Amino acid sequence: MKALVLTSPGQIELKEVPTPTLSAGKALVKIKATALNRRDDWIREGKYPNIKFGGILGSDGAGVVESVHEDSDQSWVGKDVIINPNIDWGPDLDIQSGKYTILGMPVNGTFAEYVVVPVDRLHHKPFHLDFLQASALPLGGLTAFRALFRKGGLRAGQNVLISGFGGGVAQFAFLFAKAAGANVYVSSGSDEKIEKALKLGAKGAYNYKKHVNYEELWKTKGGFDLVIDSAGGDQLNNFIKMLRPQGKIVFYGATNGLPSKIDLYRMFWNQLSLVGTTMGSDHEFNEMLAFVSQHQIRPLVDSIRPFSRIVESFGDITRPNKVGKIVFQVG
């Protein structure tokens, strides 16, 4: 089969590899569609723990179950599925186990014509999504769902700021928060993306590259109950200024690195919380799928490409005008 392999530091190659074989408790899925995440590029760049050369990348995938090991439920065979990329989250909803990892490194992932996964990673594909849309959902959808609801405690009517609307996870946070009845605002470094967010129902937006006086900018909105961010860096202090008393910043990444200082005075006086989160439990994956089906949410897709173009497409992960996921038709 064809698969995208990390061959050496910084090098990925679409090459012929043996089709994986079944072992106890596993299912073989024929991948119909897969999608890129920033994580894949971090791994290519060597900025991730436990990197294994020769491994197949890819955390997101949707397809059809080809076969299931004889010890497991055969009724999955022939079913349209999406794959939960969590490996060994464990039983505690609050924190992943020490064995936790994500499909696509070090475990072989979904950038392949076939993948073998534990049978309990299979979920029925949401009926309203085609394979391409469904493949965009798992990693970003799960991360956004936990950040907003479990960690952020978002409720209808609250003001939420989704920072960096152009991000893959941020766009799910935007869609989910809107579906939950929140007043959703966004920031972006691109006016084009801001325009798109406003068209999709954002109540307001600002360009973080142009506006520096955030406090003034948001005074009229009454402040935010919740900010969702993955950029980090010194703008954290702007978020602290924009929060209402008791507000929360939930962050799932630090693309721009660490802040040089944090305004702790304002944080303790206003009873603010800075909360970290990562991916989500299996329980939240189920909840996220139910939420997506209930609200008929469709992921935003930047482009659909043939699988043969996956290597060159890595260069587009950080393309400034990208809105939505880059998705590949595999089978």
Q: Binding residues for ligand NAP, per CB under 6 A?
A: 37-39, 42, 139, 143, 163-170, 187-190, 193, 208, 230-231, 235, 252-253, 255-256, 278-279, 317-318
Minimum distance between the CB of residue 259 and ligand NAP, rounded to whole angstroms? 11
Residue with smaller CB distance to ligand NAP, 110 or 163: 163
Q: Which residues pair with 30 in a beta bridge?
A: 64, 114
Closest CB to ligand NAP among residues 114, 165: 165
Q: Which is nearer to ligand NAP, 189 or 259 (CB)?
A: 189
In the complex, least distance from residue 52 CB atom to ligand NAP, rounded to whole angstroms: 18
Q: How far is the CB of 197 from ligand NAP (least distance, A)?
A: 9
Between CA 309 and CA 302 the distance in angstroms is 15
Closest approach, Cβ 305 to ligand NAP, in A, equals 16
3-state secondary structure of 35: strand
Closest listed residue to residue 61, CA positions, set 119, 123, 1, 14: 123
Name the nearest CA neighbour of 273 among 95, 153, 145.
153
CA–CA distance, 243 with 160 (Å, rounded to integer): 9
- Least distance to ligand NAP from the beta carbon of 4, Å? 17
Q: Roughly how many angstroms between the first and final C-alpha of the chain, as a whole number?
A: 11
Burial per residue of 17-50, b for 16 or more beta-carbon CB atoms within 10 angstroms, e otherwise = beebebeeebbbbbbbbbbbbbbbbbbbeeeeee
Q: Which is nearer to ligand NAP, 65 or 137 (CB)?
A: 137
Nearer to ligand NAP, 84 or 163 (CB): 163
